[in-house]
């Protein structure tokens, strides 16, 4: 059972006198940097030359440097750029600025776990991973709360890596709601699995298959859209608020009965077996087929990725959705 930590376990004094360089100022970068600054940490921003994010970062009160200079100045370097560019950026701009006792921080373990980044042995390597999108991490913090965080230690050169991870997570706001300790392996492999089989790949393909089944049977595409896509938010909100029990309590008895008798006909033992195949493709000790395939595609200029993106964007549900969402003026807010 994972242990939960709160603010009383986070010694923020460990960050006194230290400079934290947040590399990247996108969704997570802007949120975590601002939260830490508001906590009292000394935060600077590192960006690629010519980055459009520099204007906003300066407007938000940060000193902005190029990545190499930020890495040299900082005691703690938090890499919050996309997975696909981290390894090259590390080798070119970050690695030359490292020295004994510094720390590198990640919010996803992909590059460390799959050995794309191999840090020197004399630095700390840890993770602080808020379990929410950046805009939520920032908004909840400004409202006085915090998004739960994961922490993990990959390399403890100084003996203080775990304490620094807790303090860092506390500065982001995780100590207000709960900090869970994990490992780089567990975070990386479960995160990829969840995205692929449930949250993104599973949900998206279930929606599209349901839409196709109804429209191929002669039902109106607009009705199919509402039943198979639009109402997903209503159900997932109930699940988010109170688990499956809350959802089943709130829906009609007819819907609940249909859940029990038909759900297992769709998500059956065969689906679970294929989920295990996906997990095997993700796991490092099983060959890391997914990571190798994704890395090869990025190095080739993303040919498979772009082809798949175009194919899915052309699905009929997208045309129907654009038309219907155009009628829902409240969505613009």
- The residues assigned a catalytic role are 108
Token pair of 306 as six digits: 């772009």
Token pair of 267 as six digits: 């998500």
Which positions ≥6 away from 28 have C-beta within 8 Å? Answer: 80, 107, 130, 134, 137
| Contact by Cβ (8 Å): 107, 28 | yes
Which positions ≥6 away from 250 have C-beta within 8 Å? Answer: 238
159: left (phi over 0), alpha (psi -120 to 50) or beta: left
Residue 19 exposed, middle or buried by CB count within 10 Å (0-12, 13-18, 19+):
middle
| Contact by Cβ (8 Å): 151, 128 | yes
Any idea how long the chain is?
333
Q: Strand 149-155's sheet: what is its strand order?
A: 4-5, 179-181, 149-155, 124-130, 103-106, 76-79, 19-23, 42-47, 64-66
Rounded to an integer, what distance in angstroms lies between the CA atom of residue 58 and that of residue 298?
31
Distance of CA 140 to the CA centre of its chain: 16
Residue 167 exposed, middle or buried by CB count within 10 Å (0-12, 13-18, 19+):
buried
């Amino acid at each position: 059972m994972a242990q939960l930590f709160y603010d009383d376990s986070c010694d923020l004094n460990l960050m006194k006198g230290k400079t934290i360089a947040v590399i990247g100022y996108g969704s997570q970068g802007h949120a975590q940097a601002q939260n830490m600054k508001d906590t009292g940490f000394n935060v600077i921003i590192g960006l690629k030359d010519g980055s459009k994010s520099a204007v906003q970062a300066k407007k938000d009160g940060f000193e902005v440097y190029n990545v190499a200079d930020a890495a040299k100045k900082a005691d703690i370097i938090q890499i919050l750029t996309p997975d696909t560019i981290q390894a090259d950026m590390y080798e070119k701009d970050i690695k030359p600025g490292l020295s004994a006792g510094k720390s590198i921080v990640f919010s996803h373990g992909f590059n460390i776990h799959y050995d794309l980044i191999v840090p020197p042995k004399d630095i700390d390597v840890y993770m602080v991973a808020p379990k929410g999108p950046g805009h939520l991490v920032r908004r909840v913090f400004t409202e006085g709360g915090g998004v739960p965080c994961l922490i993990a230690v990959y390399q403890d050169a100084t003996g203080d890596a775990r304490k620094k991870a807790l303090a860092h997570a506390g500065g982001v706001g995780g100590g207000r709601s709960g900090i869970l300790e994990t490992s780089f392996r567990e975070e990386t492999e479960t995160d990829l699995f969840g995205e692929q089989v449930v949250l993104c790949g599973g949900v998206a393909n279930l929606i599209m298959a349901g839409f196709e089944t109804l429209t191929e049977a002669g039902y109106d595409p607009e009705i199919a859209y509402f039943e198979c896509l639009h109402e997903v938010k209503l159900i997932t909100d109930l699940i988010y608020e109170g688990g499956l029990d809350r959802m089943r309590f709130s829906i009609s008895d007819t819907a609940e009965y249909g859940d029990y008798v038909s759900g297992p006909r769709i998500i059956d033992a065969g689906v679970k077996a294929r989920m295990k195949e996906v997990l095997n493709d993700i796991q490092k000790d099983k060959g890391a087929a997914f990571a190798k395939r994704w890395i090869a595609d990025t190095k080739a200029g993303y040919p498979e990725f772009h082809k798949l993106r175009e194919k899915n964007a052309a699905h009929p549900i997208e045309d129907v959705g654009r038309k219907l969402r155009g009628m829902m003026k409240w969505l613009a807010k």
